[in-house]
A = this chain, B = another copy of it.
Amino acid sequence: MPGNSIGQIFRLTTFGESHGAGIGGVVDGCPAGLRIDLDAVQQELDRRRPGSTALGTTRNEADKVEFLSGLMDGVTLGTPIAFLLRNTDARSTDYDALKDVYRPGHADKTWHEKYGIRDHRGGGRSSARETAARVVGGAIARQLLAQDGVEVSAYVSQVGSERTNKPYTDLDLASVWNNDVRTADQEAVSRMTALIEQVRAEGDSIGGRITCVVQEVPAGLGEPVFDKLHADLGKAMLSINAVKGFAIGNGFDSIDLRGSQNNDAMTPTGNRTNRSGGIQGGISNGEDIVFDIAFKPVSTIAKAQDTVDRSGKAVVLEAQGRHDPCVVPRAVPIVEAMTCLVLADHLLRQRTVRAGHDRPISP
């Protein structure tokens, strides 16, 4: 059973290796009659691409998306929307030395153990470059969600030991694109920037946290008992390269609370608090959906590391290519994209849940 598709109704399948002909995907199940703002799609891609932030890699990938099907005059036909990003800045020979060496923290060895073969150039399909296709799919999903006013915003809430000190409700979520850290907490920008620059100078990397907020989401989304909304969100986030943890609402902090402290009291004008993160029993309750994602430090570093080669012999891996010292600034659009994909799918699934005289959804 292949694992390159996500979503039951609004379904994205991605394809492509880092140094093959290109990266792309197919969105099947996007409803017909939706006008797509193609510039907005490209803008989201631009926010993810290497070179988009001064704090990331110095590689520069144009990542120009070409749509191959499913659209006529910019409007969805209800047929599969295929798209392609040609690979251009692919210095495959950079990777010749890695052909038989397994990099620590990477999928090199496991990929070999699974498939018996792997494309070693730039990480092949295990490269984060694959996420470019997710951003395209997510950008289409976002435009579907926009019909219902749903807004998805993510921001960097932690870099190493540097955290935001404010809840998201005190932040201007739109301000995230005004700084290279991609945080919504302007007060934290300089602290986080300094840490990333320091780590880069050390030839090392550092982890981070992204917080994602979904606003104006209708109540009723999520499919118990297994496809609970936060379960599908969690899976989507954990499928992003370098993600090590997911927490909905107050997450691990809820462990040390009493029920009387943790329950969100309900009132005629809404819940008094939102510790649950906008989801109860796996179903959205109409409050903001809020969750956190933990990213490990990037595995590729400039320091020498002990490892093994394909024959099992010990080798020392020396400094490598041009990579990000911290992944979270460029991961913000990926987190948003995966969130949009999950929500679009559940929005459409919810259409099938109630009996009643069937009639066309208004065009």
Contact = CB atoms under 8 A, between A and B. Distances in A.
Interface in A95-116: 102, 104-107, 109-111, 113-116
A129 to B, nearest CB: 11
Interface in A226-240: 226-228, 230-232, 234-236, 238-239
Given A31-B352, A125-B224, A255-B208, A115 B265 contact: no
Contacts of A26: 4, 13, 15, 26
A356 to B, nearest CB: 4
Best-surrounded residue of A9, A113, A223, A354 (most CB of chain B within 10 A):
A354
Contact of A113 (B160, B231, B283, B314): B283
Interface centre among A79, A256, A266 (most CB of B within 10 A): A79
B17 A285 contact: no
Interface in A1-30: 1-6, 8-9, 11, 13-17, 20-24, 26, 28-30
Interface string A337-360: 000000000011111111111111
B244 A251 contact: yes
Given A4-B225, A115-B77, A355 B31 contact: yes
Contact of A15 (B82, B300, B313): B82
Contacts of A84: 68, 84
Contact of A220 (B114, B199, B224): B114
A243 B285 CA distance: 17
A272 B357 contact: no
